[in-house]
Chain A
Amino acid sequence: MHQSQLGEIMLLSNLEYIPGYKVEEHLGLVQGSAVRAKHAGRDIMAGLKNLVGGELKAYTELLQESRSQAMERMVEEAKSLNANAILNIRLATSAVAAGAAEVFVYGTAVVVSKE
């Protein structure tokens, strides 16, 4: 699910608050991560791209998909805690194995109400 769709399920913010809302309850750290490996065929194309450089579209898409999946998992965890918003969202990506990348998203699950 794209993050704009996730935004309809739960309020997401990388600020420490959500403008116009106040925090009622802090429910702790929630996180989501996804590890994706790229299809071997597409990795060969990326190898050819190493000759001419430029954007590696296959990898960009791969990491965008992983990011969406990681955010979905974080939102699910927050929903299970009965939160309605996640604050202070941070992202981290790292290459874990050759051809695979992990995307890690974390934030603070809270219950907010309109001011």
Chain B
Amino acid sequence: MDFFELIFTLGGFLLLLGIGYVAGSSAERKHYASIRKREEELRSFILVQSKRAPETPNCTTAFVSGSVVIGMDYFKLIYSSICNLFGGSVTPFESLLERARREAVLRMKSEAATMQAQYVCNVKFSTSNIKSVNGKGGGAVEVIAYGTAVVPGP
């Protein structure tokens, strides 16, 4: 490759990496701040992990769920490929999945809260990979949180 072409390609790559890092980490920080704020608001809402709902006379139940698809920025994609090369814990995926799980649970809680539910029981998670049409750089994950909301009766 011509010398200038090489510099150009490398420069382009580093620019994308830079944009990915800056935009990505700022978006992540904003998302975490929004997650923390909504978790504070919904903190009094109870999630019960057991398979039996707490005794609630005259209640109605409904199936509630919350889902989200979150993708990684360019910097994290490259960084995770490097982590995959060397083995060990892949930290970009850890923060991605944590964000997605917390967001999914918040959405499920707010759907249950709009129905005036008291608890959500038997909360389960389903996680899956999203592949994109190009084949390269899927890097996105979908998390669904679902459970049974118990609405106390009159």
Q: Contact residues of A with B, CB < 8 Å?
A: 3-4, 7, 11-20, 38, 40, 43, 46-47, 49-56, 59-60, 63-64, 67, 89-95, 98-99, 101
Contact = CB atoms under 8 A, between A and B. Distances in A.
B133 interface: yes
Contacts of B77: 50
B142 A47 contact: no
Interface of B: 16, 19-20, 23-24, 27-28, 31, 51-53, 56-59, 61-65, 67-74, 76-77, 103, 115, 121-122, 124, 126, 128-135, 137-140, 142, 144, 146-148, 150
A36 to B, nearest CB: 12
Contacts of A7: 62-63
B140 A59 contact: yes
Contacts of B52: 15, 17
A14 B63 contact: yes
